[in-house]
């Protein structure tokens, strides 16, 4: 209990603080996500605006409550990450002993890719949230002689909600096929009460039917949900290569929002040990699912390189398998020697620290100072909110994003100088060519290669 309390406290603190310390800037994907979420209407479902609908609703509420700030944009991911981390801990605790699940949970929820997802204001975190939720609900159904109908209902609702996330349709099909071909799970499904099973089927069929109706009216929706809107068949293997590069890349030349390498070498070695240990008893559900999820990750990465982040889930299971294997082998050498069990704490602590501490340091410093990823984030929004009060902001890029500022601040936003005739003008990334204004101040940022961010102008003679 002490271990889980300490893990929970550290996890919550890191989740709410580190995104502000590391990638406090915003990427283009985060800006686009904020725009699409903010303009989501009440009739979005009827208009076929279904892609990432649950996340975008949450992000829209966050922006309306707190205004257009980096924290408001990232808050939905922080909250989802908090639930995701809890579900991952609960899932590992059901499949492994407490000591194994506690150590494995620490390594995963305090890792660089997990903290990045929880601090990124995009729906990307939903790609790993839904499978973790479904696996935990499935374990609650599988592990009981008489599963509670509530878990069956929740599983059906979660499965239905997950298909609104691009690529999760494939995971829904994967779940169905895995249950059909896995003998143990197929036996459990046959023993489920018929009435809850029937109601679950009604929920799923009804949801899919409404989805089909929307897809008929808006054909582009299905391409987005299948991650095939801009997909070309001849780029499948190229996408896999670019997606897996941050996972195995060790140089600064890796161009991606993911900090390479995604996992430290000791943690990767532990996962490989876990993968080796699952070959014995492969057809047990928890053994085979990790390997199959790895294959699933590679397949969907061919459609979308960013989907490589899905590997966090099978990676967590394999890390737990690796820890279980190491502990069992050590204790197997000294089954009756209590001193050997106590002595194992020292090398285990060294191994644990070698995996955890470098990962945290990599996240904190990498996203701020590694040029391959730091340049992917812009700190303009926070500088604008701190510097400007009632000026007119002239922008050439991301106009729809900055336009949202008008609803929560006194700042006006314009795309061309001809649109307005302000007394005070703030030009983002550039100089003013109008003879009416004179330069009064240049605002710079130490977080950019070209440090000049905003040029402030006032009317000549004032």
Confidence of residue 277 (pLDDT cuts 50, 70, 90): confident
How confident is the model at residue 60, as a pLDDT?
92
d(CA 197, CA 189): 9
Q: Which domain holds residue 427?
A: 380-459
Query: Does 343 share its domain with 394?
Result: no
* Range 201-218 burial, b when 16+ CB lie within 10 A, else e: eebbeebeeebeebbeee
pTM of the entire structure? 0.84
Query: Does 137 share its domain with 264?
Result: yes
How confident is the model at residue 85, as a pLDDT?
85
Query: Does 75 share its domain with 180?
Result: yes
Is pLDDT above 70 for 178?
yes
Question: Structural domain tally of the chain?
Answer: 2
Query: Does 316 share its domain with 385?
Result: no
Query: Does 270 share its domain with 395?
Result: no
How confident is the model at residue 351, as a pLDDT?
77
Query: Does 231 share its domain with 120?
Result: yes
DSSP code of residue 259: P
Q: What does pLDDT average to over the chain?
A: 79
Residue range 66-91: average pLDDT?
88
Query: Does 411 share its domain with 339?
Result: no
Boundary (domain end) residue, out of 325, 342, 374: 374
Tokens 């999820």 -> residue: 293
Query: Does 105 share its domain with 163?
Result: yes
How confident is the model at residue 88, as a pLDDT?
87
How confident is the model at residue 419, as a pLDDT?
64
Contacts for 309 with CB less than 8 Å, ≥ 6 apart: 113, 117, 124, 127, 128, 258
Query: Does 121 share its domain with 205?
Result: yes
Inter-CA distances, 72 with 267, 382, 404, Å: 33, 12, 13
Residue range 391-419: average pLDDT?
83
Query: Does 286 share its domain with 343?
Result: yes
Boundary (domain end) residue, out of 357, 374, 391: 374
Boundary (domain end) residue, out of 374, 407, 425: 374
Query: Does 10 share its domain with 107?
Result: yes
Q: Which position has the higher pLDDT, 48 or 190?
A: 190
Query: Does 363 share its domain with 418?
Result: no
How confident is the model at residue 461, as a pLDDT?
66
Confidence of residue 373 (pLDDT cuts 50, 70, 90): confident
How confident is the model at residue 342, as a pLDDT?
74
Is pLDDT above 70 for 459?
yes
How confident is the model at residue 455, as a pLDDT?
86
Is pLDDT above 70 for 184?
no
434, 403 contact by CB (below 8 A):
no
Is pLDDT above 80 for 30?
yes
Q: What is the pLDDT of residues 318-328, one digit of tens each?
A: 888 888 888 88
Is pLDDT above 60 for 86?
yes
Q: What is the pLDDT of residues 214-267, one digit of tens each?
A: 777 777 777 788 877 777 777 788 888 877 877 776 655 556 667 777 777 778
Confidence of residue 59 (pLDDT cuts 50, 70, 90): very high
């Amino acid at each position: 209990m002490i271990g889980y309390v300490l893990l929970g406290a550290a996890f919550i603190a890191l989740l709410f603080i580190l995104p502000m310390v590391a990638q406090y800037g915003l990427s283009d994907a985060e800006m686009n996500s904020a725009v699409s979420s903010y303009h989501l209407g009440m009739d979005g479902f009827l208009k076929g605006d279904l892609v990432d609908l649950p996340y975008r609703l949450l992000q829209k509420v966050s922006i309306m409550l707190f205004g257009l700030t980096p924290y408001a944009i990232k808050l939905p991911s922080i909250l989802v990450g908090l639930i995701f981390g809890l579900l991952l801990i609960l899932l590992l605790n059901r499949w492994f002993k407490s000591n194994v699940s506690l150590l494995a949970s620490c390594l995963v929820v305090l890792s660089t890719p997990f903290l990045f997802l929880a601090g990124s204001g995009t729906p990307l975190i939903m790609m790993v949230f839904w499978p973790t939720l479904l696996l935990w609900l499935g374990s609650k159904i599988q592990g009981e002689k008489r599963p509670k109908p509530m878990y069956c209902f929740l599983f059906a609702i979660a499965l239905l909600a997950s298909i609104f996330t691009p690529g999760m349709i494939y995971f829904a099909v994967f779940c169905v096929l895995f249950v059909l071909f896995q003998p143990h799970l197929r036996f459990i499904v046959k023993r489920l009460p018929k009435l809850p099973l029937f109601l679950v089927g009604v929920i799923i069929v009804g949801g899919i039917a409404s989805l089909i109706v929307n897809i008929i009216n808006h054909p582009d929706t299905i391409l987005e949900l299948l991650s095939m809107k801009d997909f070309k068949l001849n780029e499948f293997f190229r996408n896999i290569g670019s997606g897996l590069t941050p996972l195995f890349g060790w140089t600064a030349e890796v161009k991606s929002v993911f900090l390479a390498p995604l996992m430290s070498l000791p943690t990767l070695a532990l996962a490989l040990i876990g993968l080796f240990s699952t070959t014995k008893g492969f057809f047990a559900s928890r053994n085979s699912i990790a390997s199959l999820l790895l294959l699933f990750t590679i397949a969907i990465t061919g459609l979308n390189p960013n989907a490589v982040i899905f590997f966090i889930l099978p990676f967590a299971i394999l890390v737990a398998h690796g820890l279980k294997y190491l502990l069992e082998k050590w204790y197997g050498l000294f089954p009756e020697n209590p001193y050997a069990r106590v002595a194992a704490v020292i090398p285990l602590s060294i191994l644990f620290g070698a995996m955890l501490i470098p990962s945290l340091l990599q996240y904190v410093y990498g996203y701020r100072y590694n040029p391959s990823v730091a340049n992917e984030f812009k700190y303009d929004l926070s500088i604008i909110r701190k510097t400007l009060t009632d000026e007119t902001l002239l922008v050439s890029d991301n106009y729809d994003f900055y336009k949202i500022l008008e609803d929560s601040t006194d700042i006006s936003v314009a795309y061309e100088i001809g649109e307005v005739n302000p007394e005070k003008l703030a030009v983002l990334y550039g100089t003013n060519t109008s003879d009416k204004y004179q330069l009064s101040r240049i605002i710079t940022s130490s977080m950019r290669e070209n440090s000049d961010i905003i040029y402030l102008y006032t009317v000549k003679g004032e």
